[in-house]
Amino acid sequence: MTYQSHLSNPIRSGVARVVRSPVVRTASLMGLCAAYIQGPLTKIFDFSGALSEIEHFGLHPASFFAVAVIVFELTASAMVISGFLRWAGALALAGFTLLATLIALRFWEMAPGMDRMMATNAFFEHLGLSGAFVFVAAFDLTKGAGK
């Protein structure tokens, strides 16, 4: 064995022990779901703003969609964080994020400039977020199979 591989094993083991810890796992899942907790809470405390947002995207009746989004995001986030049907909550949030991104961040329809650049960046960040949720679902579905 090389000097490098001798050093990497204890380091790798230590890092693995930390990132596999329940505290880090829960904090990571909470971070992944942070926007899906903050968003509904903001909508609850500013329901008229939530209605305006929903109407902006042409969804009617706005009150139905606002309540549905609030309940959906909080429920799916709770599923991901708690582990109860984590894979289902993660896939639901992945699909929701992808759909919302296609509705709200249509950068290709925007004129060149700062707004388009910001929408483009947000679009691809949301694609990454969707991918992370799919990864969580895949991990949750395969962990019992020894994969």
What is the rounded CA–CA span in Å between residue 136 and residue 141?
9
**Which of 20-34, 41-55, 112-126, 132-146 is least confident?**
132-146
> What is the tens place of the pLDDT at every residue in 25-56?
999 999 999 999 999 999 999 999 999 999 99
Place of tokens 């639901």: 92
Residue 143's pLDDT band (cuts 50, 70, 90) = confident
113: alpha, beta or left? (left if phi > 0; alpha if psi -120 to 50): left
Please give the Cα distance from 57 to 74 (Å, whole number).
Answer: 21
**For residue 44, which phi and psi values (nearest 5 degrees)?**
-65, -45
